[in-house]
Structure 1
Amino acid sequence: MSYAIMSQRGGETHLVTYRTVRPANIVYFDGMSASWGPGWLDSQEMFIYGVNPAQGKNSKWWDDYGRADKLCSWAEPRDIDGIVRMNAGFEIIWCDFNSSKLQLVSHLNITPPGTPLTQRTWFPRFPDDLPSTPGYPPQRRPPRRPRISQLAETGQIEWVRAASHRAFSPQPHLTLLPSGMVSYYHPRLTSLVEDRINRSMNAHRLANISSSDAVDVVHEINAVLARFKAGVMGSGMNWIGTSLDIIEQWGDRISHMHALLLNMSDPSTDATASLPTIRALSYTPLNPYMQPGLTPNASAWDLFFGMSPNVPHGNVTAFERCTTQTTGFLTASQRTSQEDLLQESIETVLSRLCSDVGTIFVESSDLVQGTSKSTLAISVHHWRVRIEKLMKWLDWSVWLRCDQHVCSTPLWPIAWVFRRPGEPNRDEEEELKPRCIRMAV
């Protein structure tokens, strides 16, 4: 990101590399929190000013250095070394370069060969004294872009490639602590619910959060940081590993089922021949929670959704075990309040997975004994629709694939269509979908 910008401005480009010699305390703002535009900076503004975005805010969203100063002022008394924010590049705002946790590794002149020596910059700066539309940077035509080195031009496409590496998973060099994860999707924040109705997550903003909800979140993060400083880390549950395990266990199976159901939907194929495969694909992930060996004559519905009180561990259904066995052993005294929400979220996902796949298992088991082609065709259609709705609801990145291209999520300021006031609106959900981008200079 920085190379793509700085190497094309003309003049020398320097790269200064540091490493941490001790663990650093970092606050991570998720989402496109380093992007310029209405809504993306709202959570930071709330931490800086302690109120909702509509009150007391006096910083301009293109004033990154001013915002960094304010964030570091907020971080210092809380023993925070830096703030991670994201756009199309990974960014950490490091507050004190004289910190004993930081060590200089190198300072290199990486100016691309053929770069003109001019110091003139084409990257726009926005002085405060120029007129502007409220909420948008002052209007200014940037200086003529200087002729740049051909090698410098690679910075843009490599920026896209680098952004695609970490678009869908946590940064590996950061150790996230989910037990302290604060979310604006907590059910208690009721002032945000109405704006999210019938809108995709891409369009969710904090603009209409109530002052009480905004202050509540600020208090929560202060409590989390105080708890962390005191050494209280929560249950010790590996929430990230658990989530990745669920995706690994279910992701490729659901994709396989979807591909098979698409094939079975073709009138020219023999859907009856594939029916046992669909049954087996749906049975396998549910098998660890059922006890068919104790009730060999039970129906598929009884095995998974029915209660079997006369067998060991029969006080709950297999469906309930499928939903809660991963996290149900945690007691309330072990969990932080943030882990309560994580447990509820994981069990909600598992409930949907187990219910949808369990339904296909039950229905395919009934049909495998014999059925007409027309009845099977109706069932295949229902199963395919069920799986497609499930995949859309889960929205897992494991299903994104690009052949000979890079899969990139449109992120500010690359692979992104910036709109000015007055320009026609486009479908934001469609605009922000991941896409395949060809890598070529």
Structure 2
Amino acid sequence: MDFEIMLCDFSDGLQVVSKLNLPPSMDRLPEPPTSQLLTTVLESGLWHNYYPGDPRIELDLSRLVSFYDTSLVPSLVPLRQHQHRHEHRLEGISPADAQNVRETLATALTQPGSGSGIHWRSLFRIITLRYADRLELIRYLLNSTELETHRSLTETGKLVQKQLRISLTPYIINGAVPSIVEGDAGTRNYSWTAPIFKYCATAHTDFIVSSSKLTPSEQLILTAIRDTNKEICRVTVKMWAEGVYEGLDPILGQPSSSPPVSSPEALENLMNRWRGEIGRLLRWLDWSIWIKCRPACGPEARRYPVVIVPGEPHRVLIFQQMCHLPWAFPVSPQVPESISQLDKEWVTPEPKCIRRVAPYDID
């Protein structure tokens, strides 16, 4: 969620704006506790965690060099198999690939021009905004139990189907009508969804494909966007079409020769398939917008020990929270007692809410 900048030449494009000689804080006030300093640093670091980040920094994506470019660094591909993104490292890169990266970077930095002029960050944002919340909502609906929501399987299925249809509405053309393969009653034919998938998968990138001004870096970005769009549309179109055949779509309805869902078991099988599809898609996308505290941090921290106001024994002082990733903290000097704790807190950290005012949650 953060990145570092390495400046090799301070004389190139930099000038001194302010140069103040401030006395150390300990000369004026008692030195604040470490917990306060760490919390303050974390809080300031969270200011630019979300789009558009720090607006003072504009990345030149037309010269992007990525270690996720499998054609550039193929030696890293097998090393990342079955690893979470948090575990990805450059350790193990082959000498040939490392040299290839250096040469590619040198070429990118010296190439003339400024690329196609396409504002790639805006395109990333458009696609993320279009799908992130809806995919997350679909996963929530599918994972909500009947006991929690008091909804039947059919009601849940129709809610999910509605979200899928809303997502695909701009691409569902009039001629897209479900059908059954002739001569083989009950066999579903999904060829009618092909144009829907095509329009969904290419809507955001078709105008770029024919551009002759793309740099190699921009070609890489375009390929990544197209592959991402295709996978999102493949999964959502497939799920929606299955819902149509099961009679869950209130607009298209169900082909007359297609048997309705006749048992809770059949609908449960559909829900299980959908859970698997949407779960795999979200894990594959792994968007940073989904790295957040669940439930979201409230404006107040309801945790103990509490502070009781004198004279008002039932009133509790509760303070604001902020969400952070545990690995942002300095490593504790105490070695974790078990590998499971190490895996949970260090290798695959989960965001959590911490207090912004004393008493702090960190030491």
Maintained 8 Å contact 2:142/2:271: yes
Give CA-to-partner distance per residue, 1:262-320, whole Å, 9 cap, x none.
Answer: 2355495322233332222101221222212x45xx11899x96369xxxxxxx72212
Q: TM-score, structure 2 length as denominator? A: 0.73
Aligned with residue 352 of structure 1, among 219, 223, 231: 231
Superposed, 1:277-292 pairs within 5 Å as 277-292=159-174
Matching residue's letter, 2:216: S
Partner of 2:137: 256
**2:325 equivalent to 1:406:** no
SS at match of 1:407: strand
Maintained 8 Å contact 1:410/1:432: no
Aligned with residue 206 of structure 2, among 319, 328, 333: 328
Q: Displacement of 1:105 after TM fit?
A: 2.5
Partner of 2:80: 196
Q: Displacement of 1:101 after TM fit?
A: 3.9
SS at match of 1:235: coil
| In 2, Cα distance between equivalents of 1:202 and 1:270 | 38
Q: Displacement of 1:164 after TM fit?
A: 2.8
Q: TM-score, structure 1 length as denominator? A: 0.61
| In 1, Cα distance between equivalents of 2:179 and 2:131 | 20
Aligned with residue 269 of structure 2, among 378, 400, 403: 378
**2:88 equivalent to 1:175:** no
Maintained 8 Å contact 2:178/2:190: no
Partner of 1:43: none
Consecutive unaligned residues in structure 1, runs of 5 or more: 1-30, 33-84, 117-147, 309-315
Maintained 8 Å contact 1:264/1:274: no
Matching residue's letter, 1:275: G
Superposed, 1:19-30 pairs within 5 Å as none
Partner of 1:388: 279
Matching residue's letter, 2:204: T
**2:311 equivalent to 1:433:** no
| In 2, Cα distance between equivalents of 1:305 and 1:173 | 49
Aligned with residue 219 of structure 1, among 103, 108, 120: 103
Change (3 A) 1:430 1:112: closer
Q: Displacement of 1:220 after TM fit?
A: 0.9
SS at match of 1:182: coil
Maintained 8 Å contact 2:235/2:277: yes
SS at match of 1:284: helix
Q: Displacement of 1:365 after TM fit?
A: 1.5
Superposed, 1:289-368 pairs within 5 Å as 289-292=171-174, 294-295=175-176, 298-299=177-178, 306=191, 317-330=195-208, 331=210, 333-367=212-246, 368=248
Maintained 8 Å contact 2:323/2:351: yes
Q: Displacement of 1:336 after TM fit?
A: 1.1
Higher relative helix content: 2
Most deviating of 162-171 and 233-242: 162-171
Q: Displacement of 1:191 after TM fit?
A: 1.5
Maintained 8 Å contact 1:200/1:429: no
Maintained 8 Å contact 1:264/1:380: no
Matching residue's letter, 1:208: G
Give CA-to-partner distance per residue, 1:34-85, whole Å, 9 cap, x none.
Answer: xxxxxxxxxxxxxxxxxxxxxxxxxxxxxxxxxxxxxxxxxxxxxxxxxxx5
Maintained 8 Å contact 1:300/1:362: no
| In 2, Cα distance between equivalents of 1:185 and 1:361 | 32
How many pairs align? 306
Maintained 8 Å contact 1:409/1:435: yes
**2:18 equivalent to 1:105:** yes
Maintained 8 Å contact 1:319/1:354: yes
**2:120 equivalent to 1:239:** yes
Give CA-to-partner distance per residue, 1:2-39, whole Å, 9 cap, x none.
Answer: xxxxxxxxxxxxxxxxxxxxxxxxxxxxx87xxxxxxx
Change (3 A) 1:352 1:99: closer
| In 2, Cα distance between equivalents of 1:256 and 1:173 | 33
Partner of 1:95: 9
Superposed, 1:117-128 pairs within 5 Å as none
Matching residue's letter, 1:252: D
Q: Displacement of 1:175 after TM fit?
A: 0.9
Q: Displacement of 1:398 after TM fit?
A: 2.5
SS at match of 1:187: coil
Maintained 8 Å contact 2:116/2:215: yes
Partner of 2:311: none
Change (3 A) 1:168 1:248: same
Change (3 A) 1:246 1:290: same
Matching residue's letter, 1:181: L
| In 2, Cα distance between equivalents of 1:301 and 1:347 | 31
Give CA-to-partner distance per residue, 1:245-278, whole Å, 9 cap, x none.
Answer: 1111111111221222223554953222333322
